[in-house]
Amino acid sequence: MRQGWALAVLALAPFAVLAGQTVEVGIENYKFSPPEVTIRVGDTVKWTNREKRTSHSVVFPQEGGLESERMFPDESWQREFLKAGRYDYTCGPHPEMKGAVIVRE
């Protein structure tokens, strides 16, 4: 019986590889780091505020101003990208901060 269970686990293993990856973007010194990331459809980008005293958000102007929740120090927000394209973004309270997510098939 154990052999059958092991084979079932091995049979499912390739599907686990298909799960999307998470790419980290730090927010520090009023900059997104790295400012541009390239990911695949189904991947997630996670932004983490590493500032000591200020809050930030992520705003996508090309998507009608879609904005994340405010992230205070040590908080994060993430988004899964389901369509290929270029997603430029800024920080809500600091629009001079700019970044981009490039999503490939």
In a domain, 82, yes or no: yes
- Provide the whole-model pTM: 0.81
pLDDT, tens digit, for every residue of 53-100? Answer: 999 999 999 999 999 999 999 999 999 999 999 999 999 999 999 999
In a domain, 7, yes or no: no
In a domain, 84, yes or no: yes
E strand or H helix that includes residue 38: strand 36-40
How many other C-beta atoms are found inside a 10 Å radius of the C-beta of residue 43? 20
Select from 30, 53, 33, 61 the least CA-distant residue to 45.
Answer: 33
**What CATH number should be reported for the domain holding residue 31?**
2.60.40.420
- Please work out, in degrees rounded to the nearest 5, the angle formed at the alpha carbon of residue 49 by the alpha carbons of 47 and 53: 165
pLDDT, position 66: 95
In a domain, 71, yes or no: yes
- Could you list the residue range(s) of the whole structural domain that residue 86 is in? 20-104
Counting the structural domains of the chain, the total is 1
